[in-house]
Amino acid sequence: MKETRIKVILGVLLMLYLIKDTSTTLQTAPGELAKKLAELAINGLGTSEMQGYYDKLTFKSLDLNGNSILNDLATRFANKLQTKVTIARKIKDAVEVSYAKSATVTSRTECCKADTRWLKYDSRFRTKVNLDEMCVIISGAASSNPKQLQDNVLQTMKQNIENNPTLTWQYFGSEEGLYTNYPMIRDSSSCSSYDPRYRPWYVEAASPQPKDVILVVDYSGSMGGSRLPIAKEAAKTVLDTLNPRDRVAFLAFESGVRRVKVTSGDAKDEKCFESSLAKASPVNIDILKKFLDGEYASGGTMYAVAFNAAFDILDKYYKEKNTTRRPVILFMTDGAPNDDPGTILNTVKMRNQGLSTKADILTFGLLTSITFPCYHQGKFIGVAGTDVVMSELLADVTYFNQGQASYAFVADSSGRTMMHPLLPKPSDPYQAPFFLDIRDLEPEGNFSDIIFSGIKRYYPLKTSRISTVTNLESLL
């Protein structure tokens, strides 16, 4: 051991000498340095001996029971999710208790003004944090003097992380536009640039039932002046509050109907936006915003033709079909139609009766962010939650050997990919999340039928490389 240590020291000294020796020519220095580094690895680190040891080992291929492994992984996955669900419920309960208190208003430090002297690097958060405090971000559109959380919430969050060392961010977004984050962090962005009410984790918990929204905006000549810009901003606000489980369509109307025509985004063909509901993904939302910005006011104001166009789209999805989605037609106008009011009302009445009855079933998504709506005296006050780190959630999945039969993936019930070896890594924490359909990454012919069958069984695909367990909710 001592001899090896001496060799390492001598090797390092020799390298330093070579670097420092100005008499060594530029042509010979790199070669000499590489030679000494190789000698250091062989003599000091023992790479040759270690490689020789591994070469003598006997490797044996084992036949594994894929169904058993998958079931074990699914059970562990569900148990970890259940732990996070319990934590999120504790935060929700603490927030509701805080709102029920009549104590004086607590003033929290804004995240953008956090004192860096009290922040220490924590590998769980991959940044510097203060585990003794939480901070707030007040949206520029927040109500004046939004209510802040009491110390009982801070104590609950601290207790959560003490009992669960792998836990990461805990937070609450209020209906007033205030975001509370634990632990405290120094946010380098603008103090008022973040509004929790427009984030997917907030919207999905505040409105858990997936929606099909058809935006119908009046672009007639009567919408000139400031009216059309106001309607456009209102439409953009609606689009910003949609979550990826929702679907959306946009119709601009005057005497006739103007439809969105594009060939990009999540659309599978050019008619996706023209006569169908598109997924409310960030890419598609941007496409719709560009369309509504590019249209101008002109023509008459015919309500009936606009309503008929909207109901035509809904009929494709709802007539004689059993669905739990909620259809919404959002009509924006200055209220001055050219057609007969009686005709308009009769159109809405008759077309609405044609839609089949739908049941309300509230469901909650439990992947990446686990969130719950909070209430005080029966009134919605905001959303509380915690993040699920996918690397921790799937720590039991190890890729010892890359190949067609050596990976796992996770997707939610709508097909949104949560984890996959081919899923692009996020590069900007302030960017809108990019959602990729699992069917784009797994293009096998019978993949959709198997994954979205809703039955907990194991099926071999045509490639014989994938087994799946569905209906994970039964394990929670």
Per-residue HEC secondary structure of 196-221 comes to HHHCHHHHHHHCCCCEEEEEEEECCH
433-461 as b/e: b if 16+ CB within 10 A: eebbbbeeebeeeebeebbeeeeeeebeb
Taken as a whole, the chain contains a residue count of 476
pLDDT digits (tens, 9 = 90+) for 117-142: 999 988 888 788 999 999 998 887 77
Instruction: Give the residue carrying structure tokens 């009686």.
Output: 342
pLDDT at 209: 67
Instruction: Give the residue carrying structure tokens 């606009």.
Output: 306
pLDDT at 195: 66
pLDDT at 17: 43
Based on the domain organization, do 106 and 148 belong to the same domain? Answer: yes
For residue 261, pLDDT over 50 is answered with: yes
* pLDDT: which is higher, 221 or 368: 221
Residue 267 lies in a domain: yes
Based on the domain organization, do 214 and 354 belong to the same domain? Answer: yes
Based on the domain organization, do 228 and 299 belong to the same domain? Answer: yes
Q: Give the single-character DSSP code of 41.
A: I
Handedness of CA 278, 283, 287, 293 (dihedral sign): positive
Residue numbers of the domain that contains 438: 409-417+426-458
Element (H, E) at 285: helix 282-294
Kindly report the backbone phi and psi dihedral angles of residue 265, in degrees, each rounded to the nearest multiple of 5, phi listed first.
80, -155
Q: Which of the residue ranges 40-49, 54-63, 180-189, 438-447 has the most confident prediction, judged by mean pLDDT?
A: 180-189
Instruction: Give the residue carrying structure tokens 């099909």.
Output: 212
81-85, 131-135, 258-262, range with the lowest pLDDT: 258-262
Question: Which of 456, 455, 422, 450 is closest to 437 using CA atoms?
Answer: 422
Residue 35 lies in a domain: no
Based on the domain organization, do 353 and 378 belong to the same domain? Answer: no
Based on the domain organization, do 258 and 226 belong to the same domain? Answer: yes
For residue 96, pLDDT over 90 is answered with: yes
Q: How far apart are CA 48 and CA 37, in angstroms?
A: 14
pLDDT at 199: 65
Based on the domain organization, do 193 and 236 belong to the same domain? Answer: no
- Model confidence at 3, pLDDT cuts 50, 70, 90, reads very low
Residue 19 lies in a domain: no
- Model confidence at 324, pLDDT cuts 50, 70, 90, reads low
Residue 40 lies in a domain: no
Based on the domain organization, do 260 and 333 belong to the same domain? Answer: yes
Based on the domain organization, do 264 and 284 belong to the same domain? Answer: yes
Based on the domain organization, do 436 and 383 belong to the same domain? Answer: no
pLDDT digits (tens, 9 = 90+) for 194-225: 766 666 666 555 555 678 888 888 888 887 77
Radius of gyration of the chain, Cα coordinates, nearest whole angstrom: 29
Q: How far apart are CA 263 and CA 261, in angstroms?
A: 7
Residue 166 lies in a domain: yes
C-beta of residue 167 within 8 angstroms of C-beta of residue 386: yes
Can you spell out the DSSP letters for 331-355? EE--S--SS-HHHHHHHHHHHHHTS
Based on the domain organization, do 215 and 358 belong to the same domain? Answer: yes
- Model confidence at 152, pLDDT cuts 50, 70, 90, reads very high
Quick one: average pLDDT of 222-237?
A: 81
* pLDDT: which is higher, 16 or 186: 186
For residue 167, pLDDT over 70 is answered with: yes
Cβ atoms < 10 Å from Cβ of 144: 5
Kindly state the percentage of the chain with pLDDT values over 70.
64
pLDDT at 157: 96
At 60 the three-state DSSP class reads coil
- Kindly tell me the burial class for residue 15, based on how many C-beta atoms sit within 10 Å of its own C-beta (0-12, 13-18, 19 or more): middle
For residue 455, pLDDT over 50 is answered with: no
**Total structural domains within the chain:** 3
Q: How far apart are CA 430 and CA 468, in angstroms?
A: 33
Residue 295 lies in a domain: yes
Quick one: average pLDDT of 159-165?
A: 93
Based on the domain organization, do 115 and 241 belong to the same domain? Answer: no
Instruction: Give the residue carrying structure tokens 């990729």.
Output: 436
Residue 217 lies in a domain: yes
For residue 248, pLDDT over 60 is answered with: yes
pLDDT at 93: 95
**CA angle at residue 251 from 235 to 272, to 5 degrees?**
110
Based on the domain organization, do 221 and 176 belong to the same domain? Answer: no
C-beta of residue 138 within 8 angstroms of C-beta of residue 189: no
- Per-chain mean pLDDT for the chain: 73
Q: Which of the residue ranges 29-33, 236-240, 423-427, 435-439 has the most confident prediction, judged by mean pLDDT?
A: 236-240
Q: Which ranges constitute the DSSP H helices of 101-219?
A: 151-163, 200-206
pLDDT at 155: 95
pLDDT at 90: 95
Residue 398 lies in a domain: no
The first and second tokens of residue 11, run together, are 């090797």
pLDDT at 364: 26
